[in-house]
């Protein structure tokens, strides 16, 4: 029986149940809902165990539990807080709304940026926000507490700007950007960019064509998502699709890093200097188990609702994550960690196309159809003191699941001894109503130099500032 991607939800209340601000690294395991809009299908045993009775809606209640994770872990209470609006900002769809956050945290509309997508802090303390189809990089410079940032256009006329990152080269600060068909770099200083260099050009932009990026020293990693949902032909195109690549800052050594990564848009480097990815997995996955259900190879709604999970895992040169030949197998993992693979019944029924047993296990399985778009490790940031060391994942929510998987921000704790991530815990929810409608969708969540968490939302066109209590 396949294990459900429902995680246990904390109790959400309109008032704190315990006093004082607490660390989030031992936050309660959550119930991240699935991604469809119809009433829940009856249980047939194909989708996993019964989900938690609680939902991610901040007005709901559920059973409280706690889990140890990270250094200095403590239990945490989650509360519903009103979203305030900074002076000079337009609250837009967030006006009068609330979010569910750890006790003691506040939630503020910090800036209104239409189409806000990925974000990165400049070396001099401003936030660069990409805007996708708007073709603009916005530069947001903090002012006084409670006030909106100063806002300028850093770059315009871009082609679907998405992933942004900063690094240093020969004593110069460098901005790296993923556009529709290219990876580009500029020198950055004093709120301006100069000396454009195209590192890679002519990349395909169809299908999952948006480019996520991250940087480690002089190496840029970028995503090249699949053209199709579940087509093995993507593995033999030139360049190969459903992959992650690397290139040097001088444009040399453009090389394949990992295959079978359907849409590895969310990339970041872990505390052990290895590369991690959060993957948008396939839709309408056929049932891969030859068992007494008799549904092998069929598209079963109960199974599809909870599978395949979205991998959050390490990739190294030569890694293959199996797509679309192998599927993460959740049957024997209650917490959706350390997942093996099973053969896809359509694309690899006998295992001859790829030996699924030879693949590295998926470290963490995020709830199916979450659509993780943002991945940020907290190591070395001020926020690490509050939430601990680990990975912050922002998920956009599903597009075709019934009921819809809500957008969320989650935290996966890092274990220094094993250099692995653990089961994710809920950090921010509330973007979706009980009827499945949404007023916002998280894209990424970036730790700020002030210890706050800055969350972009392309649905509402906003940047939120979520601040832990003292």
Segments of 329-450 assigned E as strands? 337-339, 341-343, 362-366, 372-377, 390-395, 408-415, 420-421, 425-428, 442-447
Alpha-carbon span 13 to 23, nearest angstrom = 18
- Pairing type for strands 78-85 and 12-13 reads parallel
* 79-122 confidence digits (pLDDT tens): 999 999 999 999 999 999 999 999 999 999 999 999 999 999 99
CATH top-level class for 108-421+434-467?
A: mainly beta
Query: What tens digit of pLDDT does each residue of 209-265 get?
Result: 999 999 999 999 999 999 999 999 999 999 999 999 999 999 999 999 999 999 999
Q: DSSP character for 442?
A: E
* Residue 446 · residue 376 · CB < 8 Å: yes
Smallest Cα–Cα separation from 14: which of 94, 85, 98, 108? 98
pLDDT in tens, 150-174: 999 999 999 999 999 999 999 999 9
Angle, CA of 43, 44 and 47, to the nearest 5°: 75
Q: What value does the mean pLDDT of the chain take?
A: 87
pLDDT-derived band of residue 145, with 50, 70 and 90 as boundaries? very high
Alpha carbon distance 25, 210 (integer Å): 31
According to DSSP, residue 384 is labeled: H
Per-residue model confidence as pLDDT tens digits over 18-65: 222 223 333 333 444 333 323 233 333 344 333 332 333 322 322 222
pLDDT of 3 > 70? The answer is no
Residue 407 scores a pLDDT above 70: yes
Query: CB under 8 Å to 435, separation ≥6 — which residues?
Result: none
For residue 290, pLDDT beyond 70: yes
Query: Could you tell me the residue ranges of all domains in the chain?
Result: 108-421+434-467
Percent of the chain predicted with pLDDT > 70: 84
Per the CB < 8 A criterion, the answer to whether 350 and 326 are in contact is no
The per-residue b/e assignment along 63-95, b for 16 or more CB within 10 angstroms, e otherwise, is ebebbebbeebbbbbbbbbebbbbeebebbbbe
Residue 470: its pLDDT value, please? Answer: 63
User: Which pLDDT belongs to residue 354?
Assistant: 99
For the cut 60, the answer to whether the pLDDT of residue 139 exceeds it is yes
Give 166: exposed, middle or buried? Use CB within 10 Å, 0-12, 13-18, 19+: middle
Cβ partners under 8 Å of residue 55, min gap 6 = 9, 31, 33, 62, 406, 434
Burial of 150 (0-12, 13-18, 19+ CB in 10 A): middle
pLDDT digits (tens, 9 = 90+) for 305-362: 999 999 999 999 999 999 999 999 999 999 999 999 999 999 999 999 999 999 999 9
């Amino acid at each position: 029986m396949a294990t459900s991607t429902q995680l246990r939800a904390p109790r959400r209340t309109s008032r704190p149940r315990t006093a004082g601000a607490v660390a989030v690294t031992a936050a309660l395991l959550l119930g991240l809902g699935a991604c469809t809009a119809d009433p829940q299908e009856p249980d047939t045993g194909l989708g996993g165990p019964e989900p938690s009775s609680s939902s991610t809606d901040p007005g709901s209640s559920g059973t409280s539990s706690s889990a140890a994770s990270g250094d200095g872990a403590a239990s945490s209470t989650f509360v519903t807080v009103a979203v305030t609006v900074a002076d000079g900002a337009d609250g837009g769809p967030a006006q009068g709304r609330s979010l569910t956050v750890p006790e003691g945290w506040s939630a503020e509309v910090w800036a209104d940026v239409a189409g806000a997508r990925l974000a990165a802090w400049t070396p001099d303390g401003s936030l660069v926000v990409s805007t996708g189809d708007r073709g603009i990089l916005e530069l947001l410079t903090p002012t006084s507490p409670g006030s909106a940032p100063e806002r300028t256009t850093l770059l315009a006329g871009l082609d679907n700007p998405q992933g942004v990152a900063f690094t240093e080269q020969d004593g110069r600060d460098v901005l790296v950007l993923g556009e529709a068909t290219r990876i580009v770099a500029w020198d950055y200083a004093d709120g301006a960019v100069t000396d454009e260099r195209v590192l890679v050009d002519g990349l395909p932009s169809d299908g999952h064509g948006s480019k996520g990026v991250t940087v480690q020293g002089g190496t840029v990693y970028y995503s090249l998502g699949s053209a199709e949902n579940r087509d093995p032909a993507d593995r033999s195109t030139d360049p190969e699709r459903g992959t992650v690549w690397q290139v040097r800052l001088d444009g040399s050594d453009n090389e394949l890093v990992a295959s079978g990564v359907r849409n590895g848009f969310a990339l970041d480097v872990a505390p052990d200097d290895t590369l991690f990815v959060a993957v948008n997995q396939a839709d309408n996955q056929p049932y891969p188990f030859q068992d007494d259900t008799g549904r092998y190879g069929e598209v079963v709604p109960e199974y599809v609702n909870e599978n395949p999970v979205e991998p959050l895992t390490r990739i190294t040169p030569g890694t293959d994550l199996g797509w679309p030949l192998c599927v993460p197998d959740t049957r024997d993992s209650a917490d959706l960690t350390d997942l093996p693979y099973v053969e896809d019944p359509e694309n690899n029924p006998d295992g001859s196309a790829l030996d699924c047993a030879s693949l590295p296990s998926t470290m963490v399985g995020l709830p199916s159809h979450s659509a993780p778009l943002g991945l940020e490790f907290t190591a070395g940031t001020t926020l690490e003191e509050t939430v601990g060391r680990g990975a912050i994942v922002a998920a956009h929510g599903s597009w075709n699941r019934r009921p819809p998987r809500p957008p969320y921000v989650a935290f996966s704790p890092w274990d220094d001894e094993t250099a692995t991530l653990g089961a994710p815990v809920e950090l921010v929810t509330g973007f979706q109503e009980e009827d499945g409608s949404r007023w916002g969708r998280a894209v990424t969540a970036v730790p700020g130099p002030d210890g706050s968490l800055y969350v972009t939302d392309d649905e509402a066109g906003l940047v939120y500032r979520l601040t832990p209590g003292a």
